[in-house]
Chains A and B, each alone.
Chain A
Amino acid sequence: MGNAELVAMMLADGRLPTGGHTQSGGLEPAVRAGLGADGKQLADVAAYARDRLRTTTRVEAAVAVLTRHIATSSHLSGTKLSPGDENVPKNGPRLSERAATLGPVEAAWAARTPSHVVRGVSRRQGRLLLRLARRVWPDVSAYLPNDGEIARPVVLGVVGAVTGLSAEQVARTIAYDDAQTVISASLKLLPVDPADAATWLAGLHDDIEWLVKDVAPLTRIDEIPADGAPLIDVFAHNHAIERMRLFHA
Chain B
Amino acid sequence: MPETRSFRLGVAGPVGTGKSSLIATVCRELAGELRLGVITNDIYTDEDARLLRSAGVLDPERIRAVETGACPHTAIRDDVTPNLIAVEDLERDFAPLDVVLVESGGDNLTATFSPALVDAQIFVLDVAGGGDVARKGGPGIARADLLIVNKTDLAPYVGVDVEQMVKDAEHARDGKPVIALSRTDPASVALLTEWVRSMAHAVRAGDHTPVDPGPMAPHSHVGEDGELITHTHAHTH
Contact = CB atoms under 8 A, between A and B. Distances in A.
A67 interface: no
A18 interface: yes
A244 interface: yes
Given A21-B71, A22-B69, A24-B69, A244 B46 contact: yes
A217 B98 CA distance: 52
Given A185-B69, A247-B67, A248-B69, A21 B75 contact: yes
Contacts of B67: 22, 245-248
B70 A131 contact: no
A15 B74 CA distance: 9
A114 interface: no
A49 B45 CA distance: 24
Nearest to A17: B79
A56 interface: no
B79 A19 contact: yes
Nearest to B49: A243
B194 interface: no
A128 B75 CA distance: 13
Interface string B78-116: 111110110000000000000000000000000000000
A188 interface: yes
Interface residues of A, number: 22
Contacts of A243: 44-46, 50
B58 to A, nearest CB: 20
A127 B45 contact: no
A23 interface: yes
A21 B74 CA distance: 8
B85 A22 contact: no
Contacts of A24: 69
B121 interface: no
A89 interface: no
A145 interface: no
B152 interface: no
Given A244-B46, A245-B45, A22 B68 contact: yes
A138 interface: no
Interface string A187-208: 0100000000000000000000
Nearest to B67: A248
Contacts of A246: 43-45, 67-70
Contacts of A17: 78-81
A228 interface: no
Contacts of A19: 79, 81-82
Contacts of A188: 69-70
Interface in A149-202: 185, 188
A21 B79 contact: yes
Sorted from nearest, which 4 A-B pairs have the closest CB atoms?
A17-B79, A248-B67, A21-B69, A19-B82
6 contacts: A17-B78, A21-B69, A132-B81, A243-B50, A244-B45, A248-B82
